[in-house]
Amino acid sequence: MDMNIIKWIVPGTAVLFAIGCVSFPDAQTSRQLAEKMVAEAYPGMPESLTNRARQDKAQQSCSQVGDARFSQEKAAEVIKLSRESMKYPASGKLVGDWKAGEKLAYDGAGTRIREGRVEKVNENGALCSNCHVLDSKEVNAGNIGPSLTGYGAQRGNSEAVAKVTYERIYNAWAYVPCSNMPRLGANGHLTPEQISHVVAYLIDPQSPVNTK
């Protein structure tokens, strides 16, 4: 073998060996570094927005690092924490105005940074249509989540159905831990009253969701 090649191979092997011996941060340190990077990515933003970069206990359980396994115990903990997060409308009514809910379901306003500032709106939108088909006549709808067309027509509009629907919107992790469904109520994006309107849009017989 050419001696010049050997001269390059030996040092190169030593470097690779040294890299392989470098120790990486443990899971907790990695988490802290990542959260710090996210928090510092939006300088000057209000605390109400940057707080969302700080993971709560449920999110920490769902954000597994490395070879960590999501155990049944962890799932049970996420469900428990999610149930404890539930808040309901002051009026006690879980079903609001479906027409107001329709506007929310197609509105993507709120909690967005535009031109270096947090968007100022009267209320945040739910933007359910980003992930779900709602009105069967709507051609521009998402398919990340299941279709909700006929939601109330299939399930009815009983108090039990209203409660499950409300809680799934408020914090879906109470039913499916770590799902992709946004925790719209638990993270403060929607108020309990807004969620009651979205519930009405899904289960009211007069809603376009339930009429052909």
Residue in this structure with the two tokens 């409660």, named with its chain if needed: 163
Rounded to the nearest 5 percent, the helix, strand and coil shares of the chain are 50, 0, 50
List, in order of start, the domains of the chain with CATH numbers.
84-203 (1.10.760.10)
- The confidence score (pLDDT) of residue 21 equals 52
Q: Are 120 and 110 in contact (CB under 8 A)?
A: no
Residue type at 93? K
Q: What are phi and psi of 175, to 5 degrees?
A: -115, -40
Regions of the chain with pLDDT less than 70: 1-24, 48, 65-66
- The confidence score (pLDDT) of residue 23 equals 62
CA-CA distance, 156 to 204, in Å (whole number)?
A: 9
- The confidence score (pLDDT) of residue 13 equals 53
- The confidence score (pLDDT) of residue 12 equals 52
DSSP 90: T
Give tens-digit pLDDT for 85-140. 999 999 999 999 999 999 999 998 887 777 777 788 889 999 999 999 999 888 88
Coil vs helix vs strand at 189:
coil
CA-CA distance, 13 to 6, in Å (whole number)?
A: 10
